[in-house]
Amino acid sequence: MSKWWMRALDSFSEFVDHVNTSLGRESREEWNKRKLQEHYDKLQSLDYLLMSEVLSEVMDFWESGLYHDLVVTYGSRDEILSSRVFKVEELSNNELMVLAKENLLPKSVRTMALKITDVNVFKTMHAFLETIYINYHGPEMTWEDNIHIYFGGCAERLLMGLDKFDEYSRTPRPTKDFFKKLAITQITRKETNEVENNMFLLLLDIESEIFGMGFGDSYNDFSPTMSGFIQLLAGCSAAHNNREFTAPEDIIMAYKTFFKLVKTDITVYRAPQSIVESMPEFTGYLVCDKCGVSHGLGPEDSADDFEDVCDCGGLLVYKESI
């Protein structure tokens, strides 16, 4: 949605608020506060172990300013990381990516309807690892920092340890058997949906309290991506407990893990030096203007050393980043 339309919608909503207030009706802000309290009270009334602890974490997430910082960093991470992106062949060295591709279903209407842990759900994890890493490291990221995010072992620790991810003495290795269990986890039971939906709406209400009810300052895909990440963590909890149907306790464990993760300095997890050395930082790219194939240039390379015509007949154009 363009900024012009965002401003137009904000102006229209403000006009509606003014009319409603003059008629003694709820404003958007008043409605949001009421819904926030309703969702909080509903969750508080549910008799599940650790629910009160997680709700306390929710409030701390809000009041500490960490929620605000996470959303803002999430919205800017693509720009921060844009100087160097992984090529497909480089990610083929990532064992988790290979296991996910081989064992999880691709995104489809069925996986979305049943909330099955599919490849798309799996991909949400690295979006949040990038965001949390930047929050602790700062925006001056190097190519080596990108390598640490994908190959430093934090993802493996999360999948296998959940809220105990920081207690491993060495990085665990997920197995094909674990991914096969993860592939069948789904959120279809009423009581599980109740917990998941109310937690999602509570955080959405808090996001509106932080950034306002308008459209201009919101990051439209933050909440859906976080929901997918929670689904992934809940699926891992279910898989570890040999459950096909994700239970409410798995959703609660997912949030417990999430809130611990966002408060942890994950920059301490470093990729093996052999991985770092196997993927040198590119200083530029030759990109075909016809088929789009790209060739990375290392520090020792020059664009003048290569032919300017691609195998497909297109022209190879130098770009600093892709």
CA distance 146 to 84: 8
Q: CB neighbours (10 Å) of residue 150?
A: 21
CA distance 65 to 83: 28
Residues 210 and 312 in one domain: no
Residues 114 and 235 in one domain: yes
Burial letters for 180-192: b for 16+ Cβ neighbours within 10 Å, e otherwise?
ebbbbbbbeeeeb
Residues 100 and 137 in one domain: yes
> What confidence category does residue 277 fall into, taking pLDDT thresholds of 50, 70 and 90?
confident
Q: What is the spatial order of strands in the sheet that 284-288 belongs to?
A: 294-297, 284-288, 316-319
CA distance 269 to 280: 19
Residues 192 and 260 in one domain: yes
Residues 206 and 299 in one domain: no
Q: Which residue has the tokens 């909890």?
A: 237
Residues 248 and 100 in one domain: yes
pLDDT score at 278: 83
pLDDT score at 142: 86
pLDDT score at 151: 96
Residues 108 and 125 in one domain: yes
Using DSSP's 3-state secondary structure scheme, residue 168 falls into coil
Q: Can you give the pTM of this predicted structure?
A: 0.84
Instruction: Please write the tens of the pLDDT for every residue from 230-276.
Output: 999 999 999 999 999 999 999 999 999 999 999 999 999 999 999 88
pLDDT score at 9: 46
Contacts of 194 (CB under 8 A, 6+ apart): 46, 248
Has residue 4 been placed in a domain?
Answer: no
Residues 110 and 255 in one domain: yes
> What confidence category does residue 215 fall into, taking pLDDT thresholds of 50, 70 and 90?
very low
pLDDT score at 322: 62
Instruction: Please write the tens of the pLDDT for every residue from 21-68.
Output: 665 678 888 899 999 999 999 999 999 999 999 999 999 999 999 999
CA distance 316 to 287: 5
Structural domain of 302: 282-319
CA distance 216 to 174: 41
Q: Which of 123, 139, 125 is nearest to 76 (CA)?
A: 139
Give, for 285, the enclosing helix (H) or strand (E): strand 284-288
Q: Which of 209, 87, 187, 101 is nearest to 146 (CA)?
A: 87
Residues 98 and 135 in one domain: yes
CA distance 98 to 208: 38
Query: Domains in the chain: how many in total?
Result: 2
CA distance 167 to 144: 24
* Residue 117 C-beta-side C-alpha neighbours within 13 Å: 30
Give, for 4, the enclosing helix (H) or strand (E): helix 3-22
Which is higher by pLDDT, 11 or 303?
303
Residues 58 and 184 in one domain: yes
Has residue 50 been placed in a domain?
Answer: yes
pLDDT score at 6: 46
- Residue 133 reports pLDDT greater than 90: yes
Average pLDDT of every residue of the chain: 88
For the four alpha carbons of 185, 189, 193 and 195, in that order, the dihedral sign comes to negative
Residues 297 and 229 in one domain: no
Which is higher by pLDDT, 32 or 86?
32
